[in-house]
Amino acid sequence: MASNSNKQLFQAEPELLANSVTVLKKRYLRKKESGQMENPKDLFIRVAKNIAEAELKFDSNADVDSVADVFYAQMASLKFLPNSPTLMNAGNALQQLSACFVLPVEDSLEGIFEAVKYTALIHKSGGGTGFSFSRLRPKDDSVKTTKGVSSGPVSFMSVFDAATETIKQGGMRRGANMGILRVDHPDIMEFIYAKQDKTKLTNFNLSVGITEEFMKSVKNGTDYDLLTPRDRKKTGSKNAKEVFNEMVRLAWEGGDPGIIFLDRINNANPTPAEGEMESTNPCGEQPLLPYESCNLGSINLVQFVKNGKIDWDDLKNTCRIAVRFLDNVIEMNNYPIKQIDEMTKKNRKIGLGIMGWADMLVMLNIPYNSDKAISLAEEVMKFIRDEGRKMSVELAEQRGSFSGFDKSIYPGLGFKAMRNATITTIAPTGTISIIAGASSGIEPYFALAYYRNVMDNNKLPEVNPYFLEKAHEGKFYSESLMNKLAEAGNAHNLTEVPEDIRKVFVTSHEIEPVWHVKMQAAFQKYTDNAVSKTVNFQNSATIEDVEKAYMLAYDLGCKGITIYRDGSRSGQVLNIGSVKEEKQEETAVVTVPAKPKERPAILIGKTIEKTTGCGKMYVTINQDVDGKVFEVFTSIGKAGGCAQSQAEAIGRLISLNLRSGVEPEFIIRQLKGISCHTPHGFGSQRILSCADAVGKALEEAINNPLNVQVVRNDSITVDSLLADIDKKAGKKVMSNGACPECGAPVEYIEGCLTCQSCGYSKCS
């Protein structure tokens, strides 16, 4: 190993925020051979030295130490950081450096469980997996070898989900999966509804693989063909707009399924001779061929804004170093299975992305939701892609092109060689953005401030450093203003803050969804792979709003879209106003009458029929003279039977609660979504269980009251009631949940719940 012995190596000290050091200690630092724990500098040296060793594979006289010093300087200055597995594992026994893998799922029992085995190995090593289940024969299709019938793709997905649940990823990362089914698969509707029950497939993000034919049919309002996976022959048809509407509705309800545009992804496939891309990694930004992996890293744009301008020369230098680093990762990686090793080295895909985009915009005084920001996004990403490609060409001249290189794939560019099939990806940056002290990926700010509890229960506002700097510069800083900012989370209604500052420091829920989609499309234009981005909607957004975003994503050239409507996933209450370091339960007290109301002699009501997996159920809902729901009777099956006894018990308990003053919305919330082994129907008519049927019947009754002379207060909603209860309990109601590890706010971004305080992350 040649080296420059006269050079002082690894001189720069990492300049890390206290929060960054906390995250590194908790998730990344390892014991050294001496038994002592690493410090952050040790970590960056370990990674730099390990990745630089790849130089010897191409030049036996390479100055490895000097290359390591260059790699170290980029990480220590926080200009570039590789993905988490590289930081965790480079230079350690595991040496598995990739985050993204796609595995094929073949249409045989042997093929399915081979994929399950490989999934276990990948998750154990610290990776996440993507699958297309489109090759599997549909439900009830014949199986010749056993003379039985297939249970279909969705049933087998639960096997992968269970395997993921039991495996801790290297003790540091929890498993995450992407499940994709083509929209022309006969079981597409079952797939679309697969996560309507939120207790199922909890380790999966789901996306429907959309074709161009399907989108044309959606726009024309026509039917499209369903095709058998074996021979692609027509086996039926569906109305495209109806299927599309169900995807939109369910995404509005809870975020799943997302969509990816399969044909668009394959039109950009740089290695079509190697096969068709069927799936992506768990967060959707990395389309891959079966058995491919991708090595990711992100440039921190914060470090390239100097004196109010972008330092393009410095950015160019980092692009070049980052591409070399990521190409070296491919050589140093210890892949979990042989097929992945072979396929990855064959195509040599890398994914260079960015973080700190929201920070760069405020440093340049550009609002996120502006045409100027969209133009700058295109300019920055084009620059990174072009400089990255130039470096890949240089590496190819020294090391050779990837084996499937075809210059016709890059028309007009004149490339005679290319080291890497892809160069750029906008990936989730999760914890590495916390280490870098930067905003996450290309997402806008989630909040400008929140409260953090310190000793003796004193609360201190944690304020965005760039906003704090502007407040001092503009002389509008005050402690009371910072407290108001922490309470609100944004400056939207804070008149003490100058209007131009409020426009620049805009947060995700202040930004109209159209701008989220436009931003994603701007980056996608110059990204080889795909873009991880969450299109945020306020809770009040309609299904039609989500539909418009889906169509806009298609029209603007995105490769997929993931949306999240604030508060649409149950159990997500985010306390921005008061974030506690220790997890404590807050109790809201609801006062109800000590004795239920007496039943009057006469009540009026209606009976609603619901078809369940146990048979037809009849739910009778009566209301009192004030127009309020007073009691519920249910009937199913024969008197004395088990189903009827359970139904009668449900009715009695509901009636007791109603007569005790409990609002029906609370009861509905408890009943809807309960599932059993015999659901019935599809779409809006799908009944998950008898309890679900009662909840939906009760909801219908209160939404469509009888036409009697009563006075109803329609302004009372579940959200307003909950808000009132929480207000009395001293809580501030937000949307995404508090971190289970440190209690800080959790953001739903890039397909994952992420804590910007301690680095906790949960995908799906």
Residues of the chain with pLDDT under 50: 1-3, 169-170, 570-594, 709-735
Tokens of 622: 């009566």
**Integer Cα distance of 458 and 448 in angstroms:** 20
Amino acid at 741: E
Closest alpha carbon to 85 in 329, 322, 318, 301: 329
**What pLDDT score does 303 carry?**
98
Amino acid at 762: K
> Residue 151: exposed, middle, or buried by beta-carbon count in 10 A (0-12, 13-18, 19+)?
middle
756 Cβ contact partners less than 8 Å away, ≥ 6 residues apart: 434, 440, 446, 744, 745, 747
**Integer Cα distance of 490 and 510 in angstroms:** 9
CA distances from residue 37 to 32, 167, 559 in whole angstroms, order as listed: 6, 26, 43
The residue with tokens 């280490």 is: 435
**What pLDDT score does 751 carry?**
61
Tokens of 66: 């000097």
The residue with tokens 């599932």 is: 675
For CA atoms 271, 275, 279, 282, the dihedral sign is negative
The answer to whether residues 287 and 207 touch, using CB atoms and an 8 Å cutoff, is no
**Integer Cα distance of 610 and 593 in angstroms:** 32
Closest alpha carbon to 423 in 547, 325, 539, 534: 325
pTM for this one? 0.79
621 Cβ contact partners less than 8 Å away, ≥ 6 residues apart: 605, 606, 607, 608, 629, 631, 632, 697, 698, 701
**Integer Cα distance of 129 and 633 in angstroms:** 48
**What pLDDT score does 757 carry?**
66
Buried b (16+ CB within 10 A) or exposed e, 224-261: bebbbbeeeeebeebebbebbbbbbebbbbbbbbbbbb
DSSP state of 138: P
CA distances from residue 155 to 201, 255, 585, 685 in whole angstroms, order as listed: 10, 21, 37, 21
Tokens of 380: 């920055």
Report, as residue numbers or ranges, the catalytic residues: 281, 283, 285
DSSP state of 456: G
Residue 565 φ then ψ, to 5°:
-90, 125
**Per DSSP, what are the bridge partners of residue 325?**
none
**What pLDDT score does 714 carry?**
45
**What pLDDT score does 763 carry?**
60
E strand or H helix at 178: strand 177-182
Q: Is 71 helix (H, G, I), strand (E, B) or coil?
A: helix
Q: Is the peptide bond before 257 cis (omega within 30 degrees of 0)?
A: yes
**Integer Cα distance of 192 and 244 in angstroms:** 10
**What pLDDT score does 591 carry?**
40
For CA atoms 635, 641, 645, 646, the dihedral sign is negative
DSSP 508-524: GGGS-HHHHHHHHHHHH
E strand or H helix at 227: strand 223-227
**What pLDDT score does 727 carry?**
45
